[in-house]
Amino acid sequence: MVVVMQPRAVVVGGSLAGLRAAEALRRGGHDGPLTVVGAERHRPYDRPPLSKQVLTGKIEPGQAELHIEAGFEAEWLLGVTATGLDLVGRRVKLGGGDDLPYDRLVIATGAHPRLLPMAPAGPGVHYLRTIDDATSLRDDLAGAQRVVVIGAGFIGLEVAASAHQRGLEVSVLEALPVPLERAIGAEMGEALARWHRAHGVDVRVGVGVEAIEGSGRPEGVRLSDGTVVPADVVVVGVGVSPTTAWLEKSGVDLDNGVLCDQRLSALSGGRPIPGVVAAGDVACWAHPGYGKRVRVEHWTNAAEQAEAAAHSLIQGDASTPYGPTPYFWSDQHGVKLQFVGQTNPGDEVMMIEGGFDDSRFVAAYGRRGRLVAALGMRRPARIMALQKLIDEGAPFPPVE
């Protein structure tokens, strides 16, 4: 009697990308053992509400838990950290000395906050990435009056808007000349800063942070010019780094994440590793439309890329290269900001509808006569229409 062993799949990362990849593996026909390894003790949850609804008290942290498809079956190893990967033996090494064999592997370990040496996490000083981080910050804001946010990225600005909504005095400190310059360009970044100031948030750009002052808890943030900005609570949001330390001696190619080909196969020595893919914030892949490697840290990409990675594992070379037009959104001061495409320094920017002052607008970005991106506020249908035009290679300015 011949016993046919079913392939074993392992997903490392109990995040949105990890869950969606696992579900897609089951839908795609993986009937063998499936294990999801998550460093956090929580079941997968949604991160976007953490800086918004959780901080403002609209929902409890547990309500951010992600819906899991009916009938989905997997072994869950939560609160377990992956510490290494043996590509030859096809085993994931786990904390505590155990290891886990695999035939199919999804790397979805996401990213972690960059730390400021002068601002270690502690009483009154917060980094926001996990559900436990959000709970701790929410509780701290309840007794605060003045909040300083270091970093005017998406997380920083969302936290600032949420703290302001709670009636707190909020200052945002940004080292760069404008917020979100790499994401939405200098012109729109400057307009966004003015918009936050008009809503009552003190946004300071081009400033350096020297130290957190106070004994036990923050009393202020000292800037490089000697100015001290009063603070009861400090939130640091200066970006994230892909979580790849556990792969450093594995032979997986690493550079701003796990390097992948167009079908999201992880690479080793520049060649696809059989049976290994990456998805989500940790994946840096060869985007077929842009002709370069990109890494995208937003919700939509995590969900869509996870499904594409699972298809790649199941279908191999028959799978479709993954090359969507990037899309992200951010909720700030009660309105939704949406962006499609990718910008480069020097892109043309044209406001084609409304304006920031109205909290309702659409801006288009062009490069060498082609529409490459669009930014909008409270105009979802128009942004989706522009995304289609970008996909079609439409000219700039856009004609709809």
The answer to whether residue 257 is domain-embedded is: yes
- Answer yes or no: do 343 and 372 share one domain: yes
- Answer yes or no: do 203 and 150 share one domain: yes
What pLDDT score does 96 carry? 86
- Answer yes or no: do 186 and 140 share one domain: yes
- Answer yes or no: do 154 and 106 share one domain: no
pLDDT at 308 over 50: yes
What pLDDT score does 2 carry? 41
What does the pLDDT look like over 139-196, one tens digit per residue?
999 999 999 999 999 999 999 999 999 999 999 999 999 999 999 999 999 999 999 9
The answer to whether residue 284 is domain-embedded is: yes
The answer to whether residue 329 is domain-embedded is: no
pLDDT at 86 over 70: yes
The answer to whether residue 142 is domain-embedded is: yes
What pLDDT score does 6 carry? 83
The answer to whether residue 1 is domain-embedded is: no
Q: CA 7, 90, 68: angle at the middle one, nearest 5?
A: 50
- Answer yes or no: do 105 and 251 share one domain: yes
* Residue 154 backbone dihedrals phi, psi, to 5 degrees: -60, -50
Question: Of 238, 259, 282, which residue sits at a domain end?
Answer: 238
The answer to whether residue 228 is domain-embedded is: yes
Q: Alpha carbon of 312 to those of 210, 262, 264, 304, 317: distances in Å?
A: 47, 10, 7, 13, 7
Mean pLDDT for the stretch of residues 209-224 = 96
Mean pLDDT for the stretch of residues 307-327 = 96
Confidence of residue 400 (pLDDT cuts 50, 70, 90): low
pLDDT at 5 over 80: no
Mean pLDDT for the stretch of residues 72-88 = 97
- Answer yes or no: do 210 and 263 share one domain: no
pLDDT at 133 over 60: yes
- Answer yes or no: do 21 and 82 share one domain: yes
Q: How far apart are CA 251 and CA 190, in angstroms?
A: 42
Mean pLDDT for the stretch of residues 200-205 = 98
What does the pLDDT look like over 358-376, one tens digit per residue?
899 999 999 999 999 999 9
Q: How far apart are CA 208 and CA 152, in angstroms?
A: 13
Average pLDDT over the chain reads 96
Mean pLDDT for the stretch of residues 212-223 = 96
- Answer yes or no: do 104 and 15 share one domain: yes
Tokens of 163: 């703290």
Give the residue numbers spanning the domain of 349. Answer: 334-391
- Answer yes or no: do 212 and 284 share one domain: no
Q: How far apart are CA 279 and CA 294, in angstroms?
A: 12
- Answer yes or no: do 167 and 178 share one domain: yes
For residue 172, which of 137, 141, 213, 203 has the smallest C-alpha distance? 203
pLDDT at 20 over 80: yes
pLDDT at 229 over 50: yes
The answer to whether residue 323 is domain-embedded is: no
pLDDT at 4 over 60: no
Mean pLDDT for the stretch of residues 231-243 = 97
- Answer yes or no: do 21 and 131 share one domain: no
Question: Of 294, 318, 342, which residue sits at a domain end?
Answer: 318
Q: What is the dihedral of CA 229, 231, 237, 243, to 10 degrees?
A: 130
- Answer yes or no: do 254 and 229 share one domain: no
Question: Of 191, 209, 238, which residue sits at a domain end?
Answer: 238
What's the predicted TM-score (pTM) here? Answer: 0.96
Contacts of 211 by beta carbon, 8 Å cutoff, 6+ apart:
118, 221, 222
Question: CATH code at 263?
Answer: 3.50.50.60
Q: Of all residues in the chain, what percent carry a pLDDT higher than 70? A: 98
Mean pLDDT for the stretch of residues 71-85 = 97
Mean pLDDT for the stretch of residues 66-94 = 96
What does the pLDDT look like over 256-293, one tens digit per residue?
999 999 999 999 999 999 999 999 999 999 999 999 99
The answer to whether residue 325 is domain-embedded is: no
Domain tally for the chain?
3
Question: CATH code at 358?
Answer: 3.30.390.30
